[in-house]
Structure 1
Amino acid sequence: MAGDCGDFISQFATINTDAPWLFHLADLHRSFADAAAQASDDERLTLAGALYEWLNAYFAKNAITLYGHAVSGCSVNHNAKQRLTFTHQNDLPHGVAYEKFIGEHQQIPTRNNLHDWFGACIWAKFPKSKAVLNAKHITHLHDDDSGNKRNRVRDTITVFDENGAVVVVADDDVGKAIADGLRRFDWQTCLVQHRAQWADFSTPNPKAQAFIFGHALLEQLVHPRKSLCSHTLIISMPQEFFAAPLPVQLAMLDDALAAQLQQLLQDGVTPRELHPLPILGVPYFWDNADPQFYADTSVFRAGRRQDKQDKSV
């Protein structure tokens, strides 16, 4: 256990908290980094070994900021207001499905590794959306109408939960052009021609902004590489969204994303309804100012199909 805890502390130290794709999670990362920096070597091992306890304490202290109300947890399903906390992975009984355990016990089993750390970060920032995914998993838990014995709804949930991103676009002509370019794999239009309209710290009146949702994708981005590709949902928002403070943006986005997931995750859905986006092609996420960055067709591939029905809002 001590070795695992030391590994987690070492792995956590490799996270670049200033990475632009972590902007919506930076407060959590810096808070844990500060706690680790102030601890002795033995205390750091204890901190990592009881990561779930640190998360619960942090969420309780910052409940209003995280959730918009004074409840130190988030809902287990889209409508309930039950308190959701973290617990040690060992509390998950052998043979019990992870999603079912969360739904029945209002606890998230958590290991001391980067994968579960990033998962906890997403629970913090998108509690309603994560709750929808959990509820949909449980609804379709025993459907096994696909080759992997899981079913296409749960396949789609898993792909988005692990590797998803959300692109928010303004509800105007520029936002529509960016969204349409993404859907058509027209990288020149959505990422090059409209580069200046993507959100950066200095962008006035941006028209598009990307938020990473998938915790496995976040883990992979600890060691970024150009080929990493997200599976993306597109959400249209009024221009006021882009001028709002980050906590307000996240609350608005969580509401909109939860509603879209409720609509999307029905019988017949497949992961192909998620739009591929090479995540380091997002303007300002990487050293991608040179248009030649997007000429790499092994990463920025041509479109493979037109969706029979685009369910993006």
Structure 2
Amino acid sequence: MAKRRFQAPARDAVDRSIFEHPAFAPYRFELDLLSAEHWPDVGTLNARACGLKHAQTGARLRFVDQTAALLGEGIHYETRIFERGEIPTRADNWHDLLNALVWLRFPQIKSALNARQAADVLAVGAAQRTRGQCALTHFDEAGAIVRVSDIHTLALWDAHDWGSLSTRLQLDSEALDVWVFGHALLEHALWPEPMLVAKAIAVLADPEASASNLFSRIADGIAQSELLSDPQQLRPLPTALIPGWHPRSTEAAFLSEGECFRPLRMGRVYPRPLTMHTATPGE
């Protein structure tokens, strides 16, 4: 049986309390755009994006209506953003509205993804996709940024030892931090009790490490092709095991039987994580 295509709920069917879910925490300053009675148009988005620039080109960015006439120009989506600073946005659409929020919150990372995508489109053409493009798209749509505090926590995650990882996270609230980045992942989170599996970039760093420095480190890694050259570089993270993300996150049966908690595939090896450290006095 073919898997049913995901269908986002209608705007008036969304319980506004869902925006209190941790998945939306990075976007707390933009949540009014999601919870308003009516859809924000591109004018509203551009007013919020005043001063937004492409981190790679320095060009001013603006959201534009994705119309039939715009599509008729035949310019690739990523090329349009890179060369013209125009982010095509469909009206009354959760997916594109959430994409706009990610641009507002993580412009450095989104710019790095776009520059890499545009370069690959130029190199191989719009009809082909490189392994790098697939990795970039997976992270753009379903990505999460994960700060891991220690090697032990990372080892449990890499082994898909979901029960032990859940226990570890319950005992130490600073063992792992998650920022949902992918706009498709956020779209899935509109449903109650979301069962999200993020495609994660892991960063081994102290809890005291600056989030802004962490995001800049990831943007640089993407821009320099240190990250996301292949989809296999991304780690799956079932967010339902994180305390506070799902009502059954502490239940052993749920962690062993839930569809999202899959065992490690034989031969699967994850890459070394990015590393950061908190500077000590005198450094």
TM-score normalised by structure 2 residue count: 0.81
Q: In the alignment, which residue of structure 1 is the partner of 2:48?
A: 58
CA distance in 1, matches of 2:175, 2:241: 16
Of residues 105, 109, 115, the one that matches 2:84 is: 105
Contact 2:221 2:227 in 1 (8 A): no
1:122 aligns with 2:102: yes
Of residues 144, 149, 165, the one that matches 2:128 is: 149
Contact 2:188 2:194 in 1 (8 A): no
CA distance in 2, matches of 1:221, 1:280: 11
Q: In the alignment, which residue of structure 2 is the partner of 1:187?
A: 162
Q: In the alignment, which residue of structure 2 is the partner of 1:228?
A: 196
Q: In the alignment, which residue of structure 2 is the partner of 1:4?
A: none
Q: Secondary structure at the match of 1:284?
A: coil
Change (3 A) 1:13 1:295: closer
Contact 1:159 1:231 in 2 (8 A): yes
**Which structure would you say has the larger RCO, counting Cα contacts within 8 Å and 6 or more residues apart?**
2
Q: In the alignment, which residue of structure 2 is the partner of 1:16?
A: 18
Paired positions, count? 261
CA distance in 2, matches of 1:308, 1:253: 20
1:85 aligns with 2:45: no
Q: Residue type matched to 1:158 in 2?
A: T
Of residues 290, 301, 307, the one that matches 2:262 is: 301
Contact 2:14 2:190 in 1 (8 A): no
CA distance in 2, matches of 1:23, 1:280: 15
CA distance in 2, matches of 1:19, 1:266: 28
CA distance in 1, matches of 2:227, 2:219: 14
Q: Secondary structure at the match of 2:49?
A: helix
Q: Secondary structure at the match of 2:243?
A: coil
CA distance in 2, matches of 1:141, 1:15: 40
Q: Secondary structure at the match of 2:236?
A: strand
- Runs of 4+ off more than 4 Å: 11-15, 142-145, 224-227, 263-267
CA distance in 2, matches of 1:193, 1:177: 9
1:292 aligns with 2:253: yes
Deviation, structure 1 residue 275: 0.6
Deviation, structure 1 residue 297: 5.6
Deviation, structure 1 residue 264: 4.5
CA distance in 1, matches of 2:251, 2:156: 19
CA distance in 2, matches of 1:55, 1:159: 25
Contact 1:11 1:114 in 2 (8 A): no
- Greater per-residue helix proportion: 1
CA distance in 2, matches of 1:278, 1:75: 31
Q: Secondary structure at the match of 1:162?
A: helix
Q: Secondary structure at the match of 1:232?
A: strand
Q: Residue type matched to 1:310 in 2?
A: R
Q: Residue type matched to 1:122 in 2?
A: V
CA distance in 1, matches of 2:136, 2:63: 21
Q: Residue type matched to 1:218 in 2?
A: L
Q: In the alignment, which residue of structure 2 is the partner of 1:208?
A: 176
TM-score normalised by structure 1 residue count: 0.74
Provide structure 1 residue ranges, at least 5 long, that are not aligned to the other structure.
Answer: 1-6, 38-43, 61-71, 199-205, 242-247
Contact 1:12 1:114 in 2 (8 A): no
CA distance in 2, matches of 1:93, 1:298: 38
C-alpha distance after superposition, 1:151-175 (max 9, x if no partner):
11101111110111111122xxxx2
Contact 2:153 2:168 in 1 (8 A): no
